């Protein structure tokens, strides 16, 4: 048989599967899952609200100013008109009506909710972004390099560098700097061709430094276990109480304390992916470890991460609201849903809208993300995919 001649005849004339992009397939399955679709719609609305909120409530002369205090108009119920006669010209709300009423200082709750939406959105996404990045990194290392042992030499180097950093932090400047410089010189030497680990047959006294101590996987996964032992809300509370309160601190702290689940998912996926033939094929081609991890394995491990990230956004929003409610969140006068709720709880009988409006918003958004996350899990599950 001459392949050159018969080439076009055999293949590709009838594709085995109907041509359908991943996105079309995704969309088809999503439309069948009405709860997930509802979640996505709410998410879209939330996103639009938050983005509109930034434009409407920030700047030097915002359209809707969340911080204008009008004491004569305090605790107005939702949909009440403002009394233009009693207000100074620049205090008059843009719409002439308080859509969500006013709080105990006469501030427009609608404007404050808009401002808070952006806080919730950014905290949710940035915190989850941080946690997913750390989770993928740790999970990938544990899954890919997990069976390798950390050498005694490396443990000693890490201890030495940590010691140097500790000295520096404790104020022993010169000694700390010397220790750190020596540590880096050592590091440089060990990765250079004369280093211990590069020698083909190191002398016996050197061999002790090459002894494996503990598996990489053990280190990372036991660390994950330890992190999971702390009730993370109280861990966050402690850290936030010590650090200056700001929205960035909260994002980072939530991100740093919620990556464990992602790391576990990614590790599990990597353990099964590394046995796959296409990874072996890439290795046989001479593709480097870095590219194998990020080009071959991570894209195939991303589905469960996406699910946990979506649900993670919900829990980050909830955590931020909780912190703000307790007064550890974003400092006033900046409004967040949590501190609107917190301010309103004193007037729960006189002005129930101050509690119910932010409460309902939090409930709706968190529910939407959870529903969408659950739907995503079903959609991305290949076993379910075959069925419909």
Residues engaged in binding another protein (CB under 8 A): 1-4, 6-8, 10-12, 15-17, 19, 22, 200, 276-278, 280-287, 295-296, 299-300
- In sequence order, the β-bridge partners of residue 244 are none
Q: At its nearest, how many Å lie between another protein and the CB of residue 5?
A: 10
Q: Give 264 or 274: the residue with its C-beta nearer to another protein.
A: 274
By beta-carbon proximity to another protein, the closer residue of 56 and 279 is: 279
Rounded to 10 deg, the angle between the 216-229 and 109-145 helix axes is: 150
The rounded distance, in Å, linking the Cα atoms of 317 and 339 is 13
Q: Which is nearer to another protein, 297 or 323 (CB)?
A: 297
At closest approach, how far in Å is the CB of 296 from another protein? 5
Residue 75 gets the label, from left (phi > 0), alpha (psi -120 to 50) or beta, of left
Nearest distance in Å: CB 133, another protein:
19
With respect to another protein, which residue has the nearer C-beta, 42 or 303? Answer: 303
CB of 279 to another protein, least distance (A): 8
Of 51 and 206, the one with the shorter C-beta distance to another protein is 206
Q: How far is the CB of 284 from another protein (least distance, A)?
A: 5
DSSP H helical segments within 171-285, as ranges? 173-191, 204-207, 216-229, 232-242, 247-256, 260-273, 277-285
Please report how close the Cβ of residue 3 comes to another protein at its closest, in angstroms.
5
- Identify which of residues 8 and 244 has a Cβ nearer to another protein in the complex: 8
- What are the tokens at 119? 């806080």
CB of residue 17 vs another protein: minimum separation in angstroms?
5
Rounded to whole angstroms, how far apart are CA atoms 212 and 153?
9
Write the DSSP symbol of residue 295: I
State the Cα angle at 275 between 271 and 280, rounded to 5°.
Answer: 130
CA R_g for the chain: 28
Determine the Cα angle at 225 with ends 154 and 145, to 5°: 40
| Residue in the block written with tokens 């107005």 | 76
Nearer CB in complex with another protein: 72/201: 201
């Amino acid at each position: 048989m001459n392949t050159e001649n018969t080439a076009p005849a055999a293949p590709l004339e009838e594709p085995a599967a109907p041509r359908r992009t991943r996105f079309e397939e995704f969309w088809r399955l999503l439309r069948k899952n009405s709860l997930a679709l509802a979640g996505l719609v709410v998410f879209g609305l939330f996103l639009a609200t938050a983005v509109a909120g930034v434009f409407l409530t920030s700047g030097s002369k915002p359209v809707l100013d969340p911080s204008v205090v009008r004491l004569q108009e305090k605790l107005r119920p939702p949909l009440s008109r403002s009394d233009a006669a009693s207000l100074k010209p620049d205090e008059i709300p843009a719409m002439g009506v308080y859509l969500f009423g006013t709080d105990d200082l006469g501030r427009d709750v609608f404007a404050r909710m808009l401002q808070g939406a952006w806080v919730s959105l950014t905290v949710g996404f940035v915190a989850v972004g941080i946690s997913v990045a750390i989770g993928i990194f740790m999970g990938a290392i544990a899954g890919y390099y997990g069976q390798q042992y950390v050498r005694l030499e490396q443990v000693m180097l890490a201890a030495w560098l940590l010691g140097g950093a500790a000295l520096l932090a404790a104020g022993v400047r010169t000694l700390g700097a010397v220790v750190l410089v020596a540590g880096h010189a050592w590091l440089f030497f060990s990765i250079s061709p004369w280093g211990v680990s590069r020698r083909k047959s190191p002398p016996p006294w050197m061999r002790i430094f090459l002894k494996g101590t503990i598996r990489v996987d053990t280190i990372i996964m036991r660390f994950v276990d330890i992190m999971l032992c702390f009730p993370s809300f109280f861990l966050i509370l402690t850290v936030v109480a010590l650090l200056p309160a700001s929205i960035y601190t909260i994002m980072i702290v939530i991100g740093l304390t919620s990556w464990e689940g992602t790391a576990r998912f990614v590790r599990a996926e990597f353990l099964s992916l590394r046995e796959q033939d296409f990874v072996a094929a890439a290795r046989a081609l001479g593709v480097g470890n870095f590219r194998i991890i990020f080009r071959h394995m991570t894209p195939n491990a991303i589905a469960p991460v996406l699910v946990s990230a979506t649900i993670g956004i919900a829990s980050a929003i909830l955590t931020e609201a909780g912190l703000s409610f307790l007064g550890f969140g974003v400092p006033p006068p900046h409004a967040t849903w949590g501190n609107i709720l917190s301010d309103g709880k004193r007037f729960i009988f006189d002005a129930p809208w101050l509690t119910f409006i932010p409460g309902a918003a939090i409930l709706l958004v968190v529910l939407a993300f959870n529903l969408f996350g659950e739907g995503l899990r079903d959609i991305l599950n290949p076993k379910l995919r075959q069925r419909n």
